[in-house]
Amino acid sequence: MTTTVLGAALSSPADLIALKKKALQALESGCTRLVVCGGTGCTSNGSRQVLDALNAELAARGVPLVADLLEEHPDGAVRAGFGGCSGFCEVGPIVRVFPANFFYVRVRPEDAAAIVERTVLNGEPVEHLLFRDEATGERFATRDEIPFYREQAGVVLADCGVIEPEDIRQYIAHEGYRALASCLFGMTPEDVVREVTDAGLRGRGGGGFPTGRKWELTRRSEGSKKYIICNADEGDPGAFMDRSILEGNPHAVLEGMAIAGYAVGADEGYIYCRAEYPLAVQRLRVAIRQAEEARLLGERILGSTFDFRIHIKEGAGAFVCGEETALISSIEGRRGMPSPKPPFPAQSGLFGMPTVVNNVETLANVPRIILNGAGWFRSMGVPSSPGTKVFALTGDVVNTGLIEVPMGATLKDVVFKIGGGIRNGRKFKTVQIGGPSGGCLTEEHLDLPLDYDSLRSVGAMVGSGGLVVMDDSTCMVEVARFFMQFTQSESCGKCVLCREGTRRMLEILEKITSGRGTVDDVGLLEEVAIAVRDGSLCGLGKTAPNPVLSTLRYFRDEYLAHVVDGVCPAGACQAFRHYSIDPEKCKGCTLCAKKCPVGAISGELKQPHTIDPQTCVRCGVCLDVCRLGAVVA
């Protein structure tokens, strides 16, 4: 992988434009490019070996390799390198071929020979590596034809998987840092704030607070120093949009931070990134170093009078550190616990100075807004929530992965068009949106536009953009319990209602799912949930009861079925299951009796066995091991 950087610093916007032209030409017309996904998902699936195999095969076949894009290279030369995440992690490792735009899925090192032979040398796609629609059997040669991508929009993820994130010149070729140059040499800080305000960009980390307003408040605050913080403490289970942006296009975030710095008068920034994202941290380090060498960060950026430095602070993975005051506390070296607002970070943030805290995705939108204008941004999405949103689509859908859609796309589009519908022919039941702080959406919300205000009106939230689709085998009490367990163990423990309230809600939910709940418990659960929502100190606490409140709102019947009728309607809660053995089918093989951990199964060899319901702990092992289907749940 290249870490080659520019020979000389860029000392004016003209230098940047000259480099852009050169880099773009090299990127688009110079050679065949094989971009292997270097995101966490694909590297875990062996994409590094794929890249190595490709390079080895190319060398073995005598194909000239391009070590450095900007160097002279012969015709027919090939560049193979790591790109960022294309979002469709489920079918990784992904290899993309440019300029042909082929999209290869589930590539193994053994496929290198075919790729070189057919694609590199003959310009044809490798048929068996193309994405195949399981339902129709149809194969698609290019990314944009694939149904998963057809309904998507590309703003912040557009360059992920296309450029190599560890080569700043490829970002520059794709208009990188041109927005920063426009700000420094053509706009006043007020202009920049106005453009972002006019664009209607809202915080993508969950709250949806207008970014322009945040910047304006910080710009107006008095302070001998100001800071920009990029909140990369992505903690929702299953959400990885920020990680993918940082891994796939780190410079977009750095540029967004520098623009924010210019807009509010800050000369220093911190990226607070969780230490569990080592690849993102590594890519950021490389990106910062290259940007500093190019004088796109550091002192006198592009020869202007604007200075901006960026530091990385690795967090230890506490969910609550995504809350801005806790995050600030953690950067300052203190325990990550939220503090009451006011004062807001815009007034008194990091080290007591006015501070902007923006999420990764928010910042990645900024250069595009400056480049293309507020009007362009507003042309996407809905009036109250312009632009696009990246969601992590997961759960019981056919296609899972990162998706970017215009704000206001309907749930139906996301689940059925992009997601390809529910797996295994089951029925759609609900979507948990916004992670553990979010809420659930049901069939009645399929036409609901996914934007900040619509979601809030039905008791859910965009949150950081986790979208977990669940089919009809899901128990909603169990879903609430699952998320409550997460929030309880991630509560910082500072305020009484969150610390004690989440513990008690979890306790009651466990009681209900284990079959010991009463009607009074459901009432108490709701009472605690409302108090925690109304009375907690920070956003984590205020939203912690959302899974409980929204499941109670839409699935109260399921709660009552557990506590009144003694059944789990979805059949998911083990405690409500009754296992028995069909004497017609049982051949007395004794396998279930041997595997039963509590010795609840008895019977003679070759005679039908029986389960003692008093002893049975409903673990389900007998059901799993019986080869004859004799165990009935």
Partner 1 sequence: MTPTVIIDGMPVPVNGHRNLLELIRSSGVELPTFCYCSDLSVYGACRMCVVEVEGRGLQTACSTPPEDGMVVRTTTEATQRIRKMALELLLANHQGQCQTCDRNMRCRLQALADRLGVRHVRFEAPADRETQLDEGVALVRDPAKCILCGDCVRMCSEVQGIGVLDFAGRGSNVRVTPAFGRSIDEVECVYCGQCAAICPTGAITVRSAIDEVWKAIHDPARTVVVQIAPAVRAALAQHYGIAGGEHALGKTVTALRRIGFDRVFDTSFAADLTTVEEGAEFLRRRASGGPFPMFTSCCPAWVKYAEQFQPDLLGQLSTCRSPQQMFGALARKHLPADMGIRPEDLYVVSVMPCSAKKFEAARPEFAQDGRPDVDAVLTTQELIRMIDQAGLKPAELPAGSLDLPFGFKTGAGILFGASGGVAEAVLRLLAGGKGRVEFREVRGLNGLKEAELELDGRPVRVGVVSGLGNARALLEEIRAGLKTFDLVEVMACPGGCVGGAGQPWPADTGTRRERAEMLYDCDAVQPLHNAADNPFVSECLERIGGSDGHAAHNLLHTGYRPRRRIDGQVIELDEKPVAARVPVSVCIGTNCYLRGSYDTLKRLMEAARGEGLEEAFDFQATFCFENCKASPNVRVGEEIHGGVTPEAADEFFRSQLLPLADGRSCAAARE
Task: Give residues in contact with partner 1 (CB under 8 A).
Answer: 318, 335, 337, 339-342, 488-497, 499-504, 507, 524, 527-528, 530-531, 534-537
Q: How far is the CB of 237 from partner 1 (least distance, A)?
A: 15
Q: In angstroms, how far apart are the furthest CA atoms of the chain?
A: 89
Q: How far is CA 287 from CA 180, 254, 364, in A?
A: 16, 8, 14
Q: Which of 237, 235, 236, 234 is nearest to 245 (CA)?
A: 234
Please give the Cα distance from 95 to 103 (Å, whole number): 6
User: 217 vs 572, which CB is nearer to partner 1?
Assistant: 217
Please give the Cα distance from 131 to 302 (Å, whole number): 43
User: 160 vs 495, which CB is nearer to partner 1?
Assistant: 495
Please give the Cα distance from 306 to 313 (Å, whole number): 23
**With contact defined as beta carbons under 8 Å apart, do 315 and 273 qualify?**
yes
**With contact defined as beta carbons under 8 Å apart, do 593 and 603 qualify?**
yes
Q: How far is the CB of 622 from partner 1 (least distance, A)?
A: 31
The H or E element containing residue 96 is: strand 95-98
Q: How far is the CB of 521 from partner 1 (least distance, A)?
A: 9
Q: How far is the CB of 531 from partner 1 (least distance, A)?
A: 4
Q: How far is the CB of 490 from partner 1 (least distance, A)?
A: 7
Query: Which residues face 103 on adjacent strands?
Result: 96
Q: How far is the CB of 568 from partner 1 (least distance, A)?
A: 22
User: 204 vs 499, which CB is nearer to partner 1?
Assistant: 499
Q: How far is the CB of 340 from partner 1 (least distance, A)?
A: 3
**With contact defined as beta carbons under 8 Å apart, do 48 and 60 qualify?**
no
Helices (H), 98-225: 112-114, 147-150, 168-173, 178-186, 189-199, 211-220
Q: How far is the CB of 534 from partner 1 (least distance, A)?
A: 6
The H or E element containing residue 186 is: helix 178-186
- Amino acid 233 reads D
**With contact defined as beta carbons under 8 Å apart, do 450 and 411 qualify?**
yes
User: 191 vs 507, which CB is nearer to partner 1?
Assistant: 507
Q: How far is the CB of 508 from partner 1 (least distance, A)?
A: 9
Angle, CA 241 vertex, CA 172 and CA 213 arms, to 5°: 75
Please give the Cα distance from 93 to 39 (Å, whole number): 9
Q: Which of 633, 585, 576 is nearest to 609 (CA)?
A: 585
User: 345 vs 501, which CB is nearer to partner 1?
Assistant: 501
Please give the backbone phi and psi of residue 82, each rounded to the nearest 5 degrees, phi first: -85, 130
**With contact defined as beta carbons under 8 Å apart, do 598 and 620 qualify?**
no
Q: How far is the CB of 441 from partner 1 (least distance, A)?
A: 25
Please give the backbone phi and psi of residue 104, each rounded to the nearest 5 degrees, phi first: -100, 135
Residue 441 CB-half CA count within 13 A: 30
Q: How far is the CB of 500 from partner 1 (least distance, A)?
A: 4
User: 357 vs 528, which CB is nearer to partner 1?
Assistant: 528
User: 86 vs 347, which CB is nearer to partner 1?
Assistant: 347
Query: Which residues face 98 on adjacent strands?
Result: 33
The H or E element containing residue 262 is: helix 250-264
User: 208 vs 545, which CB is nearer to partner 1?
Assistant: 545
**With contact defined as beta carbons under 8 Å apart, do 460 and 454 qualify?**
no
User: 118 vs 542, which CB is nearer to partner 1?
Assistant: 542
Q: How far is the CB of 344 from partner 1 (least distance, A)?
A: 12
Please give the Cα distance from 137 to 134 (Å, whole number): 5
Q: How far is the CB of 216 from partner 1 (least distance, A)?
A: 20
Query: Which residues face 422 on adjacent strands?
Result: 397
User: 164 vs 233, which CB is nearer to partner 1?
Assistant: 233
User: 33 vs 499, which CB is nearer to partner 1?
Assistant: 499
The two three-digit tokens of residue 92, written as one number: 């990784």
Q: How far is the CB of 235 from partner 1 (least distance, A)?
A: 12
User: 174 vs 274, which CB is nearer to partner 1?
Assistant: 274
User: 279 vs 531, which CB is nearer to partner 1?
Assistant: 531
Q: How far is the CB of 481 from partner 1 (least distance, A)?
A: 15
Query: Which residues face 580 on adjacent strands?
Result: 632
Note the residue count of the chain. Answer: 633
Please give the Cα distance from 538 to 324 (Å, whole number): 10
Helices (H), 436-563: 452-457, 476-490, 496-513, 519-535, 539-543, 546-560
Q: How far is CA 377 from CA 204, 372, 373, 389, 601, in A?
A: 14, 7, 7, 12, 65
User: 488 vs 546, which CB is nearer to partner 1?
Assistant: 488
User: 269 vs 436, which CB is nearer to partner 1?
Assistant: 436
Which residue bears the tokens 């540029």?
255
Angle, CA 53 vertex, CA 51 and CA 54 arms, to 5°: 65
Please give the backbone phi and psi of residue 385, each rounded to the nearest 5 degrees, phi first: -140, 80
User: 244 vs 488, which CB is nearer to partner 1?
Assistant: 488
Q: How far is the CB of 484 from partner 1 (least distance, A)?
A: 11
